[in-house]
């Protein structure tokens, strides 16, 4: 069994530069189209912070449970949740089920989400403030991930 890694966010370090969106869209689309990135930076004017939102590769993904065509699967080795675009019918049930908005709908009515760049996430590698880090999951990084996720959910809910 391979070691599991996760994309961890430290909301307090995010400067709102949107470099993550830029490199994500460039890597996946071949050009810079931030609206097509699998990560998006939300600006919370009220609290004066920015924070990136992306798929958390949940342990028990609700998106998989609600998909009527079984287009979503979770790799048992890596923990990465993937979308089979050939099976996806664009119903957006997964979008509605995701508690943080980690899945986006394309103009073509297909779903897109972070796939951790297949183990080499460009967003983390290019984050100038290190607000995004790709770390091996340990007890400490799981706590850090939960803390960041809890904060994201609270901010999204406001």
Q: Hey, where are the domains in the chain?
A: 5-157
Q: Is the pLDDT of residue 148 over 80?
A: no
When the pLDDT of each residue in the chain is averaged and rounded to a whole number, the result is 88
pTM of the model: 0.85
More confident call, 45 vs 66:
66
| pLDDT reported for residue 13 | 92
Classified by CATH at the fold level, domain 5-157 comes out as Alpha-Beta Plaits (3.30.70)
What integer is the mean pLDDT of 82-93? 93
- Burial (0-12, 13-18, 19+ Cβ within 10 Å), 16: middle
Structure-derived torsion over alpha carbons of residues 15, 17, 20, 25, reported in degrees to the nearest 10? 160
Q: How far apart are CA 135 and CA 3, in angstroms?
A: 10
Q: Note the pLDDT tens digit of each residue in 1-54.
A: 467 888 988 888 999 999 999 999 999 999 999 988 999 999 888 888 898 999
Q: How far apart are CA 78 and CA 57, in angstroms?
A: 10
How does residue 149 score in pLDDT terms, banded at 50, 70 and 90? Answer: low
Alpha helices in 5-138 (DSSP H): 19-29, 62-66, 93-97, 122-125
Token pair recorded at residue 136: 């091996």
């Amino acid at each position: 069994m391979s070691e599991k890694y996760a994309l961890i966010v430290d909301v307090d370090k995010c400067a709102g530069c949107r470099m993550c969106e830029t490199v994500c869209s460039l890597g996946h689309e071949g050009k810079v189209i931030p609206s097509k990135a699998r990560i998006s930076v939300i600006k919370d004017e009220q609290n004066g912070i920015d924070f990136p939102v992306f798929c958390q590769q949940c342990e028990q993904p609700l998106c998989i449970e609600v998909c009527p065509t079984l287009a979503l699967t979770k790799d048992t080795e890596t923990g990465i949740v993937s979308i089979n675009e050939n099976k996806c019918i664009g119903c957006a049930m997964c979008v509605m089920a995701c508690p943080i908005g980690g899945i986006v709908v394309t103009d073509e009515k297909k779903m897109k989400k972070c796939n951790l760049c297949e183990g080499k996430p460009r967003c983390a590698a290019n984050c100038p403030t290190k607000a995004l880090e790709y770390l091996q999951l340990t007890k400490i990084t799981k706590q850090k991930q939960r803390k960041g996720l809890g904060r994201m959910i609270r901010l999204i809910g406001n």
